[in-house]
Chains A and B, each alone.
Chain A
């Protein structure tokens, strides 16, 4: 297993947001995490990437215990996250934002190569190379966030709501790209509101509800599960 969460709890002040989450992500998989607003999906992501301290439980990545590791060191180990709300640096240009993604890497030639790859994936970004990140539209920012996350050549890519605020056309496109990235060898853990899309693309998925995992299974199984349909697909 590339990533293993074992009974992880996370608290905000006195409020426990995750009450013991266990999940695994295997090498080469796309795993989706779905659930309602406030169910704890983003908190799970933040615990994995190291932005929130873990109360109890353990996180293993690539055979190593990273529970207490600093966030920036996890990036060097190969965890990269495109955060919720995209987290574009508004005062930096598109190019600088992308270069921030490669902050931990020293070989210039490789970085340039990846920059090229990002521009190939998102030609839109190439057009806006010199523009400040804050002035991009929502969709462009989303592309930039995903592109930036790839710049560190992660083993595991964490995507937090990549479809948020995008037009249906763009949603399709983003998910296509996710699949493409996955096929190139990057493992993906995905948090989505858009359960339909996420489940149809993911190999496996977990359903979160108020800080607990209530269901897991293959993407297709969950897609057809009546309870899931009822709760998250809005089709009664």
Chain B
């Protein structure tokens, strides 16, 4: 038994070395090369719905819809990564922000909502982001002074409160929900896009039955947000977050206004969560309280940590796996979550630093493992 574990661990270490090697080689590539490869990869991602790659495509459900879901989950993970990975705040009720964003768009934009304002999508989304940011601040103001584990239960409660509110309030139409959530634009595909597989000129860009438009929009937003978060990460703000995560007291003594930056982390995380919610439910065109359960929220946290908290590529990978694997392996139907649960345990034991660890994490965990107790 132990031998098997050891060899598995060894194989995995080999993989990590390969990844790390790749990372180093990447860093040593000439600037032009890196830029070119990056562009090629981005174009590949945009082209993915039209490529019909055999093993990757999902047999049972629409592949583009799965890609869209992946993109939305990556957006969620990027936001959650700010809160958990960078600032080190454990937020188990992140789905609450997702819901607030989605409902704001639905209520303000749908002709069938109890509040018939019917703003267009481009107006709704900034409002939704603003509202979620404010809700992040409202939640964070009293609770961010609490210690880590207490924050976890309080955020969990927040997520549940939002769900219960959505379920029982008149403004959300309860569980009957709101149909006709606005789509980003009523425009149609122009003639010159007709060559792309799956696109028919003259049909709406954003339609429920052809998701390519939504996927491209989501992908674009993912890139913008990742870039934005990367800018923050590599600035005074990001350093302050890391310092807070590492040692809050020392950070404070070094002049970091910790409360302010924790609140910012919460607000930015919330904004990204709200944006993803708005995006997802625009595509779905229908929203009700179903789909905001805490369980999903907890799975998101798991995805972020398993992917490699603190590393944007890592959390993106975690999110993609969470969205993609269940759709790809529909044949395991009833056992998907069971396998997922077991996988989580195995992962934490073999790869506590996540699939794509940030370099920092890796060193830390190796040191910690070395310091394990005596006689074991």
Contact = CB atoms under 8 A, between A and B. Distances in A.
Interface of A: 11-14, 50-54, 68-71, 73
A73 B367 contact: no
Interface in B322-376: 367, 370-376
A53 B373 contact: yes
A54 B373 CA distance: 10
Contact of A68 (B370, B371, B372, B374): B374
Interface in B225-244: none
Interface of B: 367, 370-376
B375 A50 contact: yes
Contacts of B375: 50, 68-71, 73
A9 to B, nearest CB: 13
**Considering the complex of A and B, which 10 residue pairs feature the smallest CB-CB distances, nearest first?**
A70-B375, A13-B367, A53-B374, A50-B374, A69-B375, A68-B375, A70-B374, A71-B374, A14-B367, A13-B371
Most buried by A among B367, B371, B372, B375: B375
Consensus secondary structure, chain B interface? loop
A71 B373 CA distance: 9
8 contacts: A11-B370, A13-B370, A13-B371, A14-B367, A52-B374, A70-B373, A70-B376, A71-B375
Contacts of A12: 371
B363 to A, nearest CB: 8
A50 B375 CA distance: 8
A197 B319 CA distance: 63
Contacts of A69: 374-375
A53 B367 contact: no
B114 to A, nearest CB: 55
Contacts of B371: 12-13, 53
Contacts of B376: 70
A51 B374 contact: yes
Contacts of A13: 367, 370-371
B335 to A, nearest CB: 40
Nearest to A69: B375
Contacts of B370: 11, 13
Most buried by B among A13, A50, A54, A73: A13
A146 B149 CA distance: 36
Given A13-B371, A50-B375, A53-B371, 9 more contacts: A13-B367, A13-B370, A14-B367, A51-B374, A53-B374, A68-B374, A69-B375, A70-B375, A73-B375
Contacts of A52: 374
A51 B372 CA distance: 10
A68 B372 CA distance: 12
A53 B376 CA distance: 10
A134 B18 CA distance: 53
A70 B373 CA distance: 8
